[in-house]
Amino acid sequence: MVHQECIKCKTSYGIDEIVYFCKKCGDILEVKFDQKELLEKISGTDWKTSPLSVWRYRDLMPIHETTKVVTLNEGGTGLHRAQRLGSELGLSNLYIKNEGENPTGSFKDRGMTVGVTKAVELGARHVICASTGNTSASLAAYAARAGIKCTVLIPSGKIAYGKLSQAMIHGAKVLQVKGNFDEALEFVLKLAEKHKTIYLLNSINPFRIEGQKSLGYEICEQLNNEAPDRIIVPVGNAGNISAIWKGLKEFYQLGLIKKLPKMTGIQAVGSAPIVQAIKTDCDKIIPVENPETVATAIRIGAPVSWKKAVNAIRESHGTAETVTDEEILNSQKLLAQIEGIFVEPASAASIAGLNKLIKRGIILEDERVVCVTTGHGLKDPDTAVKMSEKPIEVDAEMTAIEEALGLRNKVSILAQ
Ligand code: F0G
């Protein structure tokens, strides 16, 4: 039977129980399915005929059959062959899974459609999260769609404007906590513990992870039912890399793919506790007290799902790497200018990481690599404007415009 299970002591909880941490040992939970049951379920339905989306995989989601889903059509994002970027970086088989194509512009929608559906199924009327921006934007939208109350706690002055505007316009109660994301998350956890009517939708909520695992399923389906050699993911609170790995393992266990990819996590130099743990082969993370990076989405010092992420990287024989802000911004520009894909800085960390790992000889020229770009570039227009060529101001006259474009050469001037 499908249930929630502690990742450490394996204590089991029902899927209709509101519990975020194991009541016995305090560790985080994950949703577990009975494999035989799942096999029977998927062989008895025509799921392959539905369009690519999170709910194509409804049979693999821990939501009751009769529940009405809260959806804005999430998932089904493009897997773009990136030939020009690949040859620039020295890779023949590069793909970009562009999660900015989701309804609110980030991969969070995959988790929120399932998480908010679960919230409604459980009878919750008020949902909450802490966020560096995208989670709050997504939760606010899905709560609006469901007609329930939403509260978000964000670090003050440190989230990108596009994301803030989304949470505000969708009508969430927005609290800017004078502190960083990790502090905001601590308050949210305490609030959900103390006030049982408030349902928590940060990525420690295993139902959100269930929605996000569809990212792993989709990549394989888009590659004709094959996993790539490697998937590169920017890592913040570490829910997404864990979710993708969960999805891939499920597809593998169901016999839908024949091999598993190497999971590769990328963090910004100023907030890289998971990379540190992987590189030092440590069984614990050392939280970063004052995380810093231009990639505000992944400015996180104490990732709550670190254990799952470290496990995903080790189990898959993958790796983790840090990238500097400069490398992130250069990669953002490169992707925008040679592939036409505009992503926010955190997303570009996956490209920057790829570049570094190719140069170090860790990623080989013939590997089939998928970089996940997690959020749309319009989320953070300020950073994009700051690092681009400024518009040229011209008089409203043809000659001035031609001059600015370098079209007024000697011949055209003589011809006048
Ligand atoms: N990329 C983007 C654009 C994000 O918004 C996030 C996380 C990540 C990558 C990292 O994903 O946390 O699952 O490892 N943003 C969260 C938020 C923390 O609040 O929006 P993760």
Q: If you measure from the C-alpha of residue 379 to the centroid of ligand 1, how many angstroms do you get, rounded to a whole number? A: 12
| pLDDT at residue 412, as a whole number | 59
pTM: 0.97
Rounded CA gap, 47 and 287, in Å? 42
pLDDT > 70: percent of the chain: 98
Mean of the per-residue pLDDT values of the chain = 96
Instruction: Specify whether the CB–CB gap between 5 and 308 falls below 8 A.
Output: no
Query: For atom 1 of ligand 1, which residue has the closest CA?
Result: 374
Q: If you measure from the C-alpha of residue 134 to the centroid of ligand 1, how many angstroms do you get, rounded to a whole number? A: 7
Choose between 156 and 173: higher pLDDT.
173
| pLDDT at residue 45, as a whole number | 87
| pLDDT at residue 414, as a whole number | 61
- Is the Cβ atom of 346 under 6 angstroms away from ligand 1? yes
**How many other CB atoms sit within 10 Å of the CB of residue 284?**
11
Which residues fall within 8 angstroms of residue 403, CB to CB, at 6 or more apart? Answer: 394
Torsion of CA 14, 19, 22, 28, to 10 degrees: 100
Q: If you measure from the C-alpha of residue 42 to the centroid of ligand 1, how many angstroms do you get, rounded to a whole number? A: 31
The model's pLDDT over 407-416, given as tens digits with 9 standing for 90+, comes to 987 655 666 6
Beta bridge partners, 5, equal 12, 30
- Is the Cβ atom of 375 under 6 angstroms away from ligand 1? yes
Pocket test for ligand 1, best of 264, 298, 343 (most atoms within 8 A of CB): 298
When mean pLDDT is compared across 20-34, 40-54, 250-264, the lowest value belongs to 40-54
Rounded CA gap, 273 and 279, in Å? 10
Judged against a pLDDT cut of 80, whether residue 194 lies above it is answered with: yes
Query: For atom 12 of ligand 1, which residue has the closest CA?
Result: 237
Instruction: Classify residue 158 as exposed, middle or buried by CB count within 10 Å of its CB (0-12, 13-18, 19+).
Output: middle
Rounded CA gap, 55 and 94, in Å? 27
Q: 93-98 and 79-81 as β-strands: parallel, antiparallel, unpaired?
A: antiparallel
Q: Tell me the CA end-to-end span of the chain in Å, nearest whole number.
A: 83
- Is the Cβ atom of 235 under 6 angstroms away from ligand 1? yes
- Is the Cβ atom of 131 under 6 angstroms away from ligand 1? yes
pLDDT > 90: percent of the chain: 94
Q: If you measure from the C-alpha of residue 106 to the centroid of ligand 1, how many angstroms do you get, rounded to a whole number? A: 9
The model's pLDDT over 198-238, given as tens digits with 9 standing for 90+, comes to 999 999 999 999 999 999 999 999 999 999 999 999 999 99
- Is the Cβ atom of 202 under 6 angstroms away from ligand 1? no
Q: If you measure from the C-alpha of residue 88 to the centroid of ligand 1, how many angstroms do you get, rounded to a whole number? A: 27
The model's pLDDT over 121-147, given as tens digits with 9 standing for 90+, comes to 999 999 999 999 999 999 999 999 999
Judged against a pLDDT cut of 70, whether residue 245 lies above it is answered with: yes
Closest ligand 1 atom number to CA of residue 129: 19
Closest ligand 1 atom number to CA of residue 240: 13
Tokens 């990481």 sit on residue: 353
Q: If you measure from the C-alpha of residue 62 to the centroid of ligand 1, how many angstroms do you get, rounded to a whole number? A: 23
Judged against a pLDDT cut of 90, whether residue 259 lies above it is answered with: yes
- For 33-55, what is the mean pLDDT? 92
Rounded CA gap, 369 and 96, in Å? 9
- Is the Cβ atom of 316 under 6 angstroms away from ligand 1? no
- For 87-99, what is the mean pLDDT? 98
| pLDDT at residue 169, as a whole number | 98
- For 178-206, what is the mean pLDDT? 96
Using pLDDT thresholds of 50, 70 and 90, give the confidence band for residue 157.
confident
- Is the Cβ atom of 135 under 6 angstroms away from ligand 1? yes
Q: If you measure from the C-alpha of residue 297 to the centroid of ligand 1, how many angstroms do you get, rounded to a whole number? A: 5
Closest ligand 1 atom number to CA of residue 344: 3
- Is the Cβ atom of 211 under 6 angstroms away from ligand 1? no
| pLDDT at residue 413, as a whole number | 60
Q: If you measure from the C-alpha of residue 374 to the centroid of ligand 1, how many angstroms do you get, rounded to a whole number? A: 8
Closest ligand 1 atom number to CA of residue 133: 20
If we measure between CA atoms, which residue out of 170, 177, 173, 181 comes closest to residue 133?
A: 181
| pLDDT at residue 124, as a whole number | 98
Helices 214-222 and 239-253 pack at an angle, to 10 degrees, of: 60
Rounded CA gap, 41 and 250, in Å? 14
- Is the Cβ atom of 134 under 6 angstroms away from ligand 1? yes
Judged against a pLDDT cut of 90, whether residue 265 lies above it is answered with: yes
- Is the Cβ atom of 298 under 6 angstroms away from ligand 1? yes
